[in-house]
Structure 1
Amino acid sequence: MNPYENAALPIEERVTDLLSRMTVAEKAGLMFHAMVAVNPDGTLHEPDAEGGMFASTNWLVREKLITHVNILTMAPVPPATIAEWHNRIQELAAGNHLGIPMTISTDPRHGTVDNPATSAAAGGFSAWPEPIGLGATKDPELVRAFADTVRQEYLAAGIRVALHPMADLATEPRWARTSGTLGSDPSLVAELVAAYVQGLQGDQLGPDSVVAMVKHFPGAGPQKDGEDAHFPYGREQVYPGGRWDDHLKPFEAAFAAGVAQVMPYYGMPVGTSYDEVGFGFNKGIIEGLLRGHYGFDGVVCTDWGLVTDAEIMGSPMPARAWGVENLDRLTRVQRIIDAGADQLGGEFAPELVVELVERGRVTEERIDRSARRILRDKFRLGLFDDRRYVDAAAAREKIGTPAFLAAGLDAQHRSVVVLEAPALPLTEGITVYLDGVDPVVAARYAKVVTDPAEADVAIVRRGTAYDNTRTTGFEAFFHAGRLDWTAEEITPVLDLSGKLPTVVDVMLDRPAVLTQLAGTVAGLVGTFGASDEALLDVLFGRAAASGTLPFELPSSMAEVEAAREDVPNDTAHPLFPYGHGLTWPAR
């Protein structure tokens, strides 16, 4: 037994021993956090030909010596199958020179939004509201319970790094990633982020923990004009209200809670004292602010795809090297390392790190600093000891349990925000006409008819409006632009409400402009990833109405455009203010 394999020794001693045995190529492999596909049958992905979105898993692990992978499931894959896949990739990695175990990560998997760049729908995991819905509950204990459930379900599947929570503030209403935030109020979001980190990691990182990788430092909310930094037209972050410090408060709470890892965003700060380059390349942000000012010595992993141009879902995607687009790939990697990052997300080019060391452009001592941080977390998670493999059969019993499903449903109830309620709550047994609601579910509450003329009430579900001209491949997953409906979109709802009392629910993945509906319908509700069952439980009074808005709802797009991107709840005359929500107890 080598010292690094001896669980009785202190972790730092084990890390030092393992580092002494590693080649530069093996250390470089640690510094890449690549994407891998999980086949629907749980086998390792091996593409039929070169190219495509995902590389060969065998090639990444055995040839590139990658030991951190972010799983994507492009088709439904049951959690127990993910556990089987996990054991297969761990077995593959065990055959390498030093047998360094894999660390498996994922974007959120417990909500409704299914975006290959940001989150996956719950599938067989327990279903909860989107993070912004947790923000609508304003309850740190609920958020801690949610994160603890995520921890238990991830552990059973072999997932040990959560690429969440987002500690960004929802200060720019048009931003496409608002649903992943916990709201707009800096102080409340700080409380919720701390609870989230504690639920995932516990009091300290250990064998029963899931690493929280908090993102996107130093706060990705103030996107210029609400555009997203995945794309060149959204690369700028701006601070016209001078609220830079507000956006740091949730991260400060995460640091106090002991968060193990941090991800900077793609965006580049404009009009600040920092270099106008993407945060992943920004030495003043990572070495200066994060490591120097805050004293953070955990793993810093860049957001995905800063170095390599790619094609995603048929769309060409330039590397998100904002402000340093002129640099070649080798120099981009050098710039990221010099800035203080430890890992490159979504990349698999360790040969570039090896070349930098061989050319003397980066020292092996600098590589060792990152390797030490990365290995320390593997040891703390118990991956070198008895936590390398999971019991795939037991995963079926530990994930999506009745207790977890019930807790998720209760959280969905608590996230529902009743904005107006002239005719709410509804009486069970009435006759209802449905638009966007599953009639099988609704039949448990009322008599369902297909002719509005025969109904007592109509129940309609809609999503927040967005610029639906952006339909090309990857870009189509990011709902951006306008927040108000066109006449063509809203007229059917208004016509229906003119014929019979109509209750309208809007999925608020962003702060919708609801002026066209306010005061004209029998009930107006905002949800954040609530099932039909959760919504109807509240509408019919089976569950209490208790949620309140996690951001304000603007009255017009003109007011949105006049507001400052970095200032919370900054429109002049909001239709519904932050914290608004009508309440009633369960019947």
Structure 2
Amino acid sequence: MTRAALETDPGGVPYRDLNRNGRLDPFEDPRLEPEERVADLLLRLSLAEKVGLLFHTVIECGPGGAVLEGPGAICKSGTRQVVLGKHITHFNVHALGTPTEAARWHNAVQELAEDAPHGIPVTISTDPRHGFSENAGAGFAAGAFSQWPEPLGIGALRDPATAHRYAEVVRREYVAVGIRAALHPTLDLATEPRWARQQHTFGQDPHVVAELGLAFLRGLQGARLGPGSVACTAKHFPGGGPQKDGEDAHFPYGREQVYPAGRFGDHLEPFRDAVDAGVAAVMPYYGMPVGLELDGEPVPAVGFGFNRTVLQGLLRDELGYDGVVLSDWELINDNHVGNQVLPARAWGVEHLDPHARMQLMLEAGCDQFGGEECVEVLIDLVAQGRVGEDRVDESAGRLLLVKFQLGLFDDPYVDEAAAAEVVGCEEFVAAGLAAQAESVTVLHDPRGLLPLDDGPRRIYVEGMSAGEASALGTVVDRPEDADLALVRIQAPFEPRSDLFLEAWFRAGSLEFPPGLPVRLARVRAACPLIVDVTLDRPAVLGPVMDVADVVVASYGTSGPALVRALQGASRGRLPFDLPRSMADVRAHAPDRPGLDDPLLACGYRWDPAIVATGSRRQET
């Protein structure tokens, strides 16, 4: 039982006495509309409490689900310090334990928040965590949650019903452990083949991305935000895909977004639909537009989080958006982790100090500072008269509204015992496994080896456990002793590890090392060869296709799911073009969906009837 247990006012209305004054105040009254409750609460809050709402930093779960009292591997401060000392109530969680531990931790943080003057409940958010990739700057492997293909695999299925089902599972598992805000979907278009963020997109086609994004959004939020919803953040406005040279805007060398083909509208399309559907939050990307014009006027070459023309002019005035604008992480201060640094992503305004950067973001239209907890800077800006308290109220009101709509003020707690029954339950795991198998795309099978039958065979495998491969036959140690070989490989990339987070982002060339086709050819000389390539971004696959009997693409697929796919469950289509060469990639305009002459086109899957005509274009 917590201190803010349900009270009953003289009229018989149950409520939580969050400010502990012994009476039912309007912001505590569950009968009132969220907007009325926000208006009442804003009048009661101190400046420090309102300022705390405008920050959204990283938090960690302590051992066994305990509240972490000191700095962690990622978080800068102890939980008590940020919740009660800085009045921050929005947190992005990274590592979680078991479902029971995650729920226990969430409840402990909510109970801690009740010690604040007005007991504002905490909102816990997360990056995607139902796939395979582990990247502290972008998303997490599933762990205890049901495991699905990366969103790119959902894009390969091109099925809004599957996207909606996926989102419903994500919602139920998130809500079970207290996660009420999703820092996704990623509505960027995968138009620059080298860009490192493509696995969390739905692909390159703006219409497919818009359709699947809407299905996902409705699965998490519902028709409107309510006590069972997860509030979504559509990112990265106005489209983070057209990165110069394919470099990522997390890093100084990737700060520029360019539009040589004039296709800005394609990248904006999915966000238009998300805004119309009532997405709770929008996150602008780090990138700074170079050479972009809107309505004949040049857009300032500053990061989108600082860009008033894009946020106030386009998003709010033109598109009519009045929800939360949450900046991407750490635009104000450098982040030092161990002996590495990640400079503040203040692209185009690097010369400004933290005060001026924050002021510019508020003037541009941002409501919340991602990855930051420097509340003293905003309090100082108000004291200096550089930011009006009414501007703080505007953003604080938007953020409180979402909390009220989610029902957090009335009951923020979760059932710790039930969490383990929901998260990773048999039904959800089975649905994820089916989606993994179905998303696999057959790219090349001229001998018609697929689907594999149940006949006896000896099989040689690489990149897959013998136990998983045994479903296809008796596993042997050498290709020379096999009837079939199955080799799983990853799409190529160039390892980097200078800046913090850099090692987790797979960037650079899309070409495989020259020794790989030679080695694969030696395997194929002994027996027929199937190659599965996990595509987190496109790859130059021609040399692999030349030396394999079968090539399939996957986007986050376990061994058992791949077995199902090879036995006939696969139905995925390429979510982006595959290039013939790196020369073609370098010549391609980063903002244009699709290459001039791809090896295989977006929408392609192997079909003997079509391949017989000599065409590798099978777009839908």
TM-score (norm 1): 0.96
1:70 to 92, 97, 101: 92
Matched letter for residue 521 of structure 2: L
Does residue 372 (structure 1) correspond to residue 380 (structure 2)? The answer is: no
Does residue 495 (structure 1) correspond to residue 522 (structure 2)? The answer is: yes
Corresponding residue number in structure 1 for 2:17:
none
Corresponding residue number in structure 1 for 2:451:
425
1:45 Cα deviation from its structure 2 partner: 1.7
1:312 Cα deviation from its structure 2 partner: 3.5
Alignment of 1:125-204 (within 5 A): 125-204=145-224
Does residue 540 (structure 1) correspond to residue 567 (structure 2)? The answer is: yes
Alignment of 1:150-549 (within 5 A): 150-272=170-292, 273-312=298-337, 314-386=339-411, 388-421=412-445, 422=447, 423-428=449-454, 429-470=456-497, 473-541=500-568, 544-549=569-574
Corresponding residue number in structure 1 for 2:25:
2
Corresponding residue number in structure 1 for 2:61:
38
Does residue 553 (structure 1) correspond to residue 553 (structure 2)? The answer is: no
Structure 1 Cα separation of the partners of residues 422 and 520 of structure 2:
43
Matched letter for residue 563 of structure 2: L
Tell me, yes or no, if the aligned pair for 2:186 and 2:234 is still in contact at 8 Å: yes
Structure 2 Cα separation of the partners of residues 131 and 260 of structure 1:
20
Structure 2 Cα separation of the partners of residues 246 and 327 of structure 1:
32
1:79 Cα deviation from its structure 2 partner: 2.5
Tell me, yes or no, if the aligned pair for 1:132 and 1:178 is still in contact at 8 Å: yes
Structure 2 Cα separation of the partners of residues 471 and 502 of structure 1:
38
Q: Which secondary structure does the structure 2 equivalent of 1:295 belong to?
A: coil
Structure 1 Cα separation of the partners of residues 123 and 499 of structure 2:
33
Q: Which secondary structure does the structure 1 equivalent of 2:170 belong to?
A: helix
1:38 Cα deviation from its structure 2 partner: 1.4
Structure 2 Cα separation of the partners of residues 53 and 199 of structure 1:
30
Corresponding residue number in structure 1 for 2:8:
none
- Deviation string for 1:480-535 (max 9, x for gaps)? 01001112344322321232211000000000111111132111000000111111
Structure 2 Cα separation of the partners of residues 295 and 312 of structure 1:
39
Corresponding residue number in structure 1 for 2:82:
60
Structure 2 Cα separation of the partners of residues 25 and 147 of structure 1:
36
- Structure exhibiting the larger radius of gyration computed from Cα positions: 2
Tell me, yes or no, if the aligned pair for 2:71 and 2:77 is still in contact at 8 Å: no
Corresponding residue number in structure 2 for 1:113:
133
2:119 to 82, 99, 124: 99
Q: Is the deviation greater in 190-199 or in 496-505?
A: 496-505
Matched letter for residue 556 of structure 2: G
Q: Which secondary structure does the structure 2 equivalent of 1:97 belong to?
A: coil
Structure 2 Cα separation of the partners of residues 77 and 406 of structure 1:
22
Tell me, yes or no, if the aligned pair for 1:53 and 1:312 is still in contact at 8 Å: no
1:21 Cα deviation from its structure 2 partner: 0.5
- Deviation string for 1:66-111 (max 9, x for gaps)? 00000011xx622221111100100110111100000000000100
Alignment of 1:561-576 (within 5 A): 561-570=586-595, 572-576=596-600
1:473 Cα deviation from its structure 2 partner: 5.0
Any unmatched runs of 5+ in structure 2?
1-23, 293-297, 609-620
Q: Is the deviation greater in 80-89 or in 238-247?
A: 80-89
Q: Which secondary structure does the structure 2 equivalent of 1:578 belong to?
A: coil
Structure 2 Cα separation of the partners of residues 373 and 473 of structure 1:
32
1:48 Cα deviation from its structure 2 partner: 6.9
TM-score (norm 2): 0.91
Structure 2 Cα separation of the partners of residues 8 and 31 of structure 1:
27
Does residue 23 (structure 1) correspond to residue 46 (structure 2)? The answer is: yes
Structure 1 residue runs of 4 or more that deviate by more than 6 Å after TM superposition: none
RMSD: 1.5
Structure 1 Cα separation of the partners of residues 586 and 230 of structure 2:
40
Structure 1 Cα separation of the partners of residues 332 and 160 of structure 2:
37
Does residue 579 (structure 1) correspond to residue 603 (structure 2)? The answer is: yes
Q: 1:313 to 1:210 in 2, by over 3 A?
A: farther
Q: How many residues align?
A: 577
Tell me, yes or no, if the aligned pair for 2:195 and 2:247 is still in contact at 8 Å: yes
Q: Is the deviation greater in 489-498 or in 263-272?
A: 489-498
